[in-house]
Structures are given as structure tokens and as C-alpha cells.
Amino acid sequence: MKNRQRMLSLIGIVGAGALALGLTACSTPDEGGAGGGGEGDLITVGFVAVGPEGAWREANEQNIQDTFTEDAGFELKYAPATNLDQKSQIDAFTSFVDEGVDVILLSATEASGWEDSLKRAQEAEIPVILLDRGIEPDDTSLYVTRIAPDNVEVAKAVGEWANTTFPDGGNYIVLEGPAGVGVVNERNKGFEQGLGDSSLVKVAAQTANWSAEEGKSVTETLLKANSNNIQFIFAQNDEMGLGAVQAVQEAGLTPGVDIKIATIDGTKSAMQALADGLLSFVHEYNPLFGETALDVVKKTLAGETVDSYIIVPSQAFDSPEAAQAVLADRKF
């Protein structure tokens, strides 16, 4: 790529020592990333990240940081969003383009609003790889690939399980992630596909912002509004589902018996809740795809072609026994 060629030219002109000094001077602190070495042979990767957002995000971003290390030949510049604010992500993205990094990894807080940034990176011949979340509109000419589990298929599996589990129907509520995030739309789409002609009736859908605390409070409100006449709760992530468990218990009901709760992500805390019978169904959304991202970056910088969407395999767990079988080795 142009930026890589420019870096190699600099090595020949001024020597590795001078280049190391220059890169060190322009590097920014990387809040936990594996950066700062500034050696001339390191590939610089700008990671426009989401930052603190729960156990899944922590596992995912740590996995990326643990993979793109100096030992692997990379300088990772980690830029988490400020309070999940998209503007802070766009600012970080712009800084990486101006700095001339070799590649940008993007986990977007919001799906829309990225066209100008992606076009600017394209003009600078800096490849962009999407991690986890997609963009809207999904213009694949503006990025190399998206690496993520398939949200639609994952949520479809939840819907199919619910359809089978409630053959006589019932009332259900949905706890959603933040409005404007593509993941929310994808999980709603897949879940509804999975339900098909189910007799289940949706009585409410409300955001709880991926939060256990909000999952609890929203569930409390919806249970009261429906006189506790809810048989099923679909939480779009584990934290909201675990918050719903608390609300159900405090309402004097039994999770897994009076109300079944299904979640997506498959974090260790959710798997433990499934093993304990508090959750009824958990579909993993595998966050550990750093090695896949590493392979894609190497192929991209070498000029090789990769698929525009690389799906990360993920498993479904539908019983305490299934959860118990994997708990000991769970890495997130």
C-alpha cells in the first residue's frame, strides 16, 4: 500500500534509528494497546474502538490488543470512543488517516455517518476493516471486509428456539441495544425470521442500552405494565438478560419456570446463569477473532483479495448441561 511504501522509503533515506524517533514522537498513548515501540519494521494499525460497553466488548477489544503486538510485527494504536460517542470515533479515524497508519480497524458505535471518513481513508489508500458492527448504507467498496459473527443468523436461532419452546404462544418482550446501532436492527430482523408463524405475541420492545442495570429497570416497568403476564423475554445481549433475571426474581417469579429468558453473547456470567437454570437459552456471539483479523490485515497489505464478509463461527446453548460443559474453559 502507499503508506507502507512511504515508510520503507523513509527507512532507506534516514535510517531505522531516525524513523523510530519520529514515530515515537507522533505516537499517541494507547490505553492498554500493544503500541509505542516505533520500530521501522512495525506495521501501524489504528484501532477505532468502542471502549467500555460490557463483558463482550472487553473480551473482544482485549483479544485484538493481545493479537496485534510488537512481537507479531505491529504497532497498535488503540482509540476507544468517549462515552460511546460517534464524534470521538470519527475524530480518531481522521487522526489515523492524517498520521498515515497502514490500516484502520473500525468497530463503529453507530452504523450510519461513516461515508466521508471511509472515502477519505480510501483516497489515502489506507484499507479499513470493520470489526463486529457493519455500516449503513453498506457500501462494500469503501472497506475491505467485515469480520463478525452473523447477527441475523444468531438471532434467528433464538427465534426458532422460542417458536419451538412456546408452541401454544404467550406474551414476550424484547430488550434492545441502543437505537441507531446496526447490531440492534440485525438481531431484530433475525429474531423475527426465526419466530416465523409463531403464536407468541410481542407486547413491548424497549432499549436497555446493553446494560444490566437498565435491563433490570426496563423489565420491572414492563412486567408491572403487563401485570406480570409475560412468558418470555428476549434480551439482545447477556447483560440486559441478567438484569431481567433480577427483575423477574424481585417480582416474585421464577426465571426459567414462570418466565424464560434468552440472551445473545455467551459470556461466562451468562453461561453460569444458564447452568444455574436462570437463563433458558444463550447464543454465543464469539468475540475472539483477533487471529482472523491479523490474517486479513496481512493478506490485505500483501495485495491479496479477501471476502467482503468473514463470518465468525458461534454456538448455541440450550440447557444447563450444555453450559456446564464449557464453563471451565470459557475465555470471556
Which SS3 state, helix, strand or coil, does residue 32 take? coil
b/e per residue 159-179 (b: at least 16 CB within 10 A): bbbbbebbeeebbbbbbbbbe
Q: How large is the C-alpha radius of gyration of the chain?
A: 22
**One domain, residues 21 and 56:** yes
Residue 309 domain-assigned?
no
Share of the chain above pLDDT 70, in %: 88
* pLDDT tens-place string over residues 159-197: 999 999 999 999 999 999 998 788 999 999 999 999 999
pLDDT the model gives residue 146: 97
* pLDDT tens-place string over residues 27-84: 333 433 333 334 468 999 999 999 998 889 999 999 999 999 999 999 999 999 999 9
With a threshold of 0.85, does the pTM exceed it?
no
Total count of domains within the chain: 2
Residue 102 domain-assigned?
yes
CB 154 within 8 Å of CB 283: yes
Grid cell, residue 83, equals 462515552
Grid cell, residue 131, equals 470489526
User: What is the average per-residue pLDDT within 255-281?
Assistant: 98
Closest alpha carbon to 43 in 114, 120, 108, 129: 129
**Residue, of 3 and 18, whose pLDDT is higher:** 3
Q: Distance from first CA to last CA of the chain, Å, rounded?
A: 35
Q: Which domain holds residue 217?
A: 151-285+317-327
Residue 312 domain-assigned?
no
**One domain, residues 243 and 155:** yes
CATH of the domain at 174: 3.40.50.2300
**One domain, residues 12 and 142:** yes
